Amino acid sequence: DIQMTQSPSSLSASVGDRVTITCRASQGISNYLAWFQQKPGKVPKVLIYAASTLQSGVPSRFNGSGSGTDFTLTISSLQPEDVATYYCQKYNSAPWTFGQGTKVEIK
């Protein structure tokens, strides 16, 4: 099975900072990669799908890029409401594995 490895596992940044989270697949998955945001105590929601397509209603400060095995989620200007855990997930074929998550906090 393809493994999904996220880094870092956690980060602390200041409001307004640019934040980058990476996700690496152990084999190529084309662009079948989604990013989810889970705020504390809340249900996960999709931010980005097809590696770079922003879900409707998601702020434009979120950006996804990559293809094949290496993917990136960037928050261009971190906001207090972005405190959450972020997960990548492959969905090209079963199993639809999630990364282990990246916890984002405000410094």
Partner 1 sequence: EVQLVESGGGLVQPGESLRLSCTASGFTFSSFSMTWVRQAPGKGLEWISYISPSGSPKYYADSVKGRFAISRDNAKNSLYLHMDSLRADDTAVYYCARGRPSDPWGQGTLVTVSS
Which residues contact partner 1 (rule: CB under 8 A)? 1, 34, 36, 38, 43-46, 49, 55, 85, 87, 89, 91, 94-101
CB of 83 to partner 1, least distance (A): 17
Nearer to partner 1, 16 or 57 (CB): 57
* Cα 23 from chain centre: 7
Nearer to partner 1, 17 or 91 (CB): 91
Pairing between strand 4-7 and 10-13? Answer: unpaired
**Exposure letters 54-89 (e unless 16+ CB within 10 A, then b):** beeeeeeebbbebeeeebbbebeebeeebebbbbbb
Nearer to partner 1, 61 or 103 (CB): 103
CB of 16 to partner 1, least distance (A): 28
CB of 27 to partner 1, least distance (A): 17
Nearer to partner 1, 94 or 107 (CB): 94
Alpha helices in 1-107 (DSSP H): none
Specify whether the CB–CB gap between 92 and 30 falls below 8 A.
yes
